[in-house]
Every structure is written in structure tokens, then in C-alpha cells.
């Protein structure tokens, strides 16, 4: 199998030739691994895509995510990075320690009724005050049609990187977020957590728009040829909200996304990334149509053997290696932890070896390579089961 076949088979619940390796690298880790300047990546969106691909190849990954960002003009002063407008005026400081979003000096720059703004809604944050203040405003949030991503050049960039990858590594399509994490961008984390208790109509109105944006983006990804798609909701975790609240607000909108994408492209497979504790929602995630559940975060007490026993063969699983192990352990220790995850969650296929969440920027490159080493040693399948090592 090639990398694409291996990743798709595992996410779809089948038995590949080997457990696929898919470390949760973000842009900063990819930049460090490849020696690519962060500011140049922010200025030039194709560098984000190609750097992710190159970093994945260096560490032996079978797949990497593809994040599309808008080009930004930057100014660097006193070790701080600012986004500037066409006149050279600073519009906000760029968060170089976290998500690389521009913290806008004037929230009015974030025009939620504009398609382009909402196509890149994660590139901005303000926000001393919520962006969306009422149900009426929520209903006016723009939903970029899938054609916009072609019009603004994202399709051309992705096709160039896909050609560069030349089948050596699978490129995962990104739906961004549709539910609680989308709402936190529109309202802020603390306000969003209160909204689901005090302002449910507004919460649903915002998540309806988040789902609609994710669906259009997903259609564009499928049109490009992506068959494995990522849906994120890092904030929709029992580490922050109760299972009851999750079922009232997150579940219906997540189901909408899954059903729409499976209807649009029956061959697409969706995996969900929810940080922390997801144990109480496992049955719900299976019921709503999620193909693969991740990231099996040890810091959220998501033990691979326990979750596999509960899920059986009804969904694929992803993750399991403690995020901090890449920072604090030796390659040999990471390899052993990965071997345990493969045995506990991947005995009969349907498993993707990955980290419990995003790998820290200062992690040792050899610790990422240790995932592939473990997969090669302990993740080979023979006659539908792991080959005895």
C-alpha cells in the first residue's frame, strides 16, 4: 500500500499493511523540523502547505494536515511581529507563541458578514468583546461558498503541493471547526461556556453557521480529491462542558456536518479531534456517523485499550501517545509507548498511530521519528491481525 491507501484504509476501519503514522504536527513544529522561517510561512501560504508536507516526510509520517491561511504583510519590531495593512499601519500583533492569529487592535476589522473574512476566521482574534452579540448578527455570519476557495487561489496552491507530494504522503483536508470551538472564536471561551447555559438560542445560531461553513469547505476539499477530512472541536470536551451540554449543542451540528459530507462524497471519511476527556461521548460520536475518533489523549484519561474495548469495530481510533512524551522522553521511551498503543488499539486494524494532541514546538525530532520506528517494528499486519513481533 502507498501512504494514501494505508491512511484511508485505517480511518475507514479496515486493515492496512501497516499501522499508519500521523503525528499531530502544527505549523510551528513543521517549521522547526524543516528550518523554515515562521514569518516567511505567514507571509506566503504555500510555504505552510509545503512545509507541513516536507516535515511529514522527514519524520516518516504517512499523512499530514493541510492548513490554508491568507497571506499577511508583516513588520518585525523588538522581537514582536505585527500584521500591517497596505499603508504600513499596524493592525495587530501576531501571536507567534500560539496559533499565529493576528490580535486585532480594532475588532471592526473582523467583518463577519464578509465571505473572505469567514474563509480565514482563525487568522484573526480580538477580542475584548464578542464579535457576535445577538442572534440577528449570528444569522448574518457569511458562509463562503466552496467556489470562493478556488477564486482566491487556495485550490491552485493545494494542487501544487499535492503534485510535490507525488503520492509519498497523504494530505488531509481540514474542515476547521463547526461547533464549540467556532463559537469561542465568535464569543470568547468564557462567554461561550456561559452562553450554552444562559443564551441557548444564540449558541445554536452560531453553531449552525459554523456547520454550514465547514460543509462548504468540506465540499471544496472533496472536489480537490481529499478523502480523509479532519473536523476539530478542541473546546467541545468534557474537560470543559458536561456530556448533557455536549449532546444538546455539539451533537446535532456535528451530525449535520457528517451527514452532509457523506451525502456529498460517500467515499470521504471524517475523523474528529476533541482534546481531553471524550469517554462519555463515544457512543454519540459513533451514532452521529463519525468514522474515526481521536486523539485518544492520555492527559484526558483516554486509554487506548479501554476505548477499543468500548468501540470494538464500530469506528476507527487515532492517537494515544502522550503529547508531553515528545518533549520529556527519549526516542526509545516514545517507541515503547507507541508499541503499547498499537497493541491496545490496533490489533485488528482501524487504528492510526498518533499523538494525544499537538506536539510541542521544542520536541526532539527523533521522538517523532520514533513513531514510525514503532509502526515498522510492531504495526505490521498479516492475515487481518498484527503480526507477532
- pLDDT digit of tens for each residue in the chain (389 aa)? 999 999 999 999 999 999 999 999 999 999 999 999 999 999 999 999 999 999 999 999 999 999 999 999 999 999 999 999 999 999 999 999 888 999 999 888 899 999 999 999 999 886 678 999 999 999 999 999 999 999 999 999 999 999 999 999 999 999 999 999 999 999 999 999 999 999 999 999 999 999 999 999 999 999 999 999 999 999 999 889 999 999 999 999 999 999 999 999 999 999 999 989 999 999 999 999 999 999 999 999 999 999 999 999 999 999 999 999 999 999 999 999 999 999 999 999 999 999 999 999 999 999 999 999 999 999 999 999 999 76
Q: What is d(CA 94, CA 267) in angstroms, rounded to the nearest whole number?
A: 38
Query: What are the DSSP E strand ranges found in 85-181?
Result: 90-94, 102-104, 124-125, 170-177
Amino acid 129: pLDDT: 81
CATH assignment at residue 287: 3.20.20.210
Kindly state whether residue 85 falls inside one of the protein's structural domains: no
Helices (H) and strands (E) counted in the chain, each on its own, are 18, 14
Strands 124-125 and 228-232 come out as: unpaired
Q: Is residue 224 part of a domain?
A: yes
Between CA 378 and CA 370 the distance in angstroms is 12
Looking at residue 96, what is its pLDDT?
Answer: 93
Own/partner pairs, 93-98, CB within 8 angstroms, 24+ separation: 94/42, 95/125, 96/38
In a domain, 115, yes or no: no
Q: How many domains does the chain have?
A: 1
For residue 161, tell me if it sits in a domain.
yes
* Structural domain contains residue 184: yes
Give the DSSP H/E element, type plus range, for residue 325.
helix 325-328
CA angle 271, 273, 275 (to 5 degrees): 155
Structural domain contains residue 134: no
Is residue 337 within 8 A of residue 5, CB to CB? The reply is: no
8 Å CB contact between 349 and 381 = yes
Residues with Cβ within 8 Å of 199's Cβ and at least 6 positions away in sequence, in order, are none
Evaluate whether 314 touches 286 at the Cβ level (below 8 Å): yes
* DSSP per-residue letters across 221-256: HHHHT--EEEEE-TTSSTTTS-HHHIIIIIHHHHHH
For residues 143 and 216, is the Cβ–Cβ distance under 8 A?
yes
C-alpha cell at 27: 505549523
For residue 360, the SS3 value is: coil
* Domain around 198: 25-69+149-294
Residue 122 falls within a domain, yes or no?
no
Q: Is residue 62 part of a domain?
A: yes
Write down the pLDDT at residue 107.
Answer: 84
Q: At what angle do helices 304-311 and 331-345 cross, to 10 degrees?
A: 20
pTM for this entry? 0.96
Amino acid at each position: 500500500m502507498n501512504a494514501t491507501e494505508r491512511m484511508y484504509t485505517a480511518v475507514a476501519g479496515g486493515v492496512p499493511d501497516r499501522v499508519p503514522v500521523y503525528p499531530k504536527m502544527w505549523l510551528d513544529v513543521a517549521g522547526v523540523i524543516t528550518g523554515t522561517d515562521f514569518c516567511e510561512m505567514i507571509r506566503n501560504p504555500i510555504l505552510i502547505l509545503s512545509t507541513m508536507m516536507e516535515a511529514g516526510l522527514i519524520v516518516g509520517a504517512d499523512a499530514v494536515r493541510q492548513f490554508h491561511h491568507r497571506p499577511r504583510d508583516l513588520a518585525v519590531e523588538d522581537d514582536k511581529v505585527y500584521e500591517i495593512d497596505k499603508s504600513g499601519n499596524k493592525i495587530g500583533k501576531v501571536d507567534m507563541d500560539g496559533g499565529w492569529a493576528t490580535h486585532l487592535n480594532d475588532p471592526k476589522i473582523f467583518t463577519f458578514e464578509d465571505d473572505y473574512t469567514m474563509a480565514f476566521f482563525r487568522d484573526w482574534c480580538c477580542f475584548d468583546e464578542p464579535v457576535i452579540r445577538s442572534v440577528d448578527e449570528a444569522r448574518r455570519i457569511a458562509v463562503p461558498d466552496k467556489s470562493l476557495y478556488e477564486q482566491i487561489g487556495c485550490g491552485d496552491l493545494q494542487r501544487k503541493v499535492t503534485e510535490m507530494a507525488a503520492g509519498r504522503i497523504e494530505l488531509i483536508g481540514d474542515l476547521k471547526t463547526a461547533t464549540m470551538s467556532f463559537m469561542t472564536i465568535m464569543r470568547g471561551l468564557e462567554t461561550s461556556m456561559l452562553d450554552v447555559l444562559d443564551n441557548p438560542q444564540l449558541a445554536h445560531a452560531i453553531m449552525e453557521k459554523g456547520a454550514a461553513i465547514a460543509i462548504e469547505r468540506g465540499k471544496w476539499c472533496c472536489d480537490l480529491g481529499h478523502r480523509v477530512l479532519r473536523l476539530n472541536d478542541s473546546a467541545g470536551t468534557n474537560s470543559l462542558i458536561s456530556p448533557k451540554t455536549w449532546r444538546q449543542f455539539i451533537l446535532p451540528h456535528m451530525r449535520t456536518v457528517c451527514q452532509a459530507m457523506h451525502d456529498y462524497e460517500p467515499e470521504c471519511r471524517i475523523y474528529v479531534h476533541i482534546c481531553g476527556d471524550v469517554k462519555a461521548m463515544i457512543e454519540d460520536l459513533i451514532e452521529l456517523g463519525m468514522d474515526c475518533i481521536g486523539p485518544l489523549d492520555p492527559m484526558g484519561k483516554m486509554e487506548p485499550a479501554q476505548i477499543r474495548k468500548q468501540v470494538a469495530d464500530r469506528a476507527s481510533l487515532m492517537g494515544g501517545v502522550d503529547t508531553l512524551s515528545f518533549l520529556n522522553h527519549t526516542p526509545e521511551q516514545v517507541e515503547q509507548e507507541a508499541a503499547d498503543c498499537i497493541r491496545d488499539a490496533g490489533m485488528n486494524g482501524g487504528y492510526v498511530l498518533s499523538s494525544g494532541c499537538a506536539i510541542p514546538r521544542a520536541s526532539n525530532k527523533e521522538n517523532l521519528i520514533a513513531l514510525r520506528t514503532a509502526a515498522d517494528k510492531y504495526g505490521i499486519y498479516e492475515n487481518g491481525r498484527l503480526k507477532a513481533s
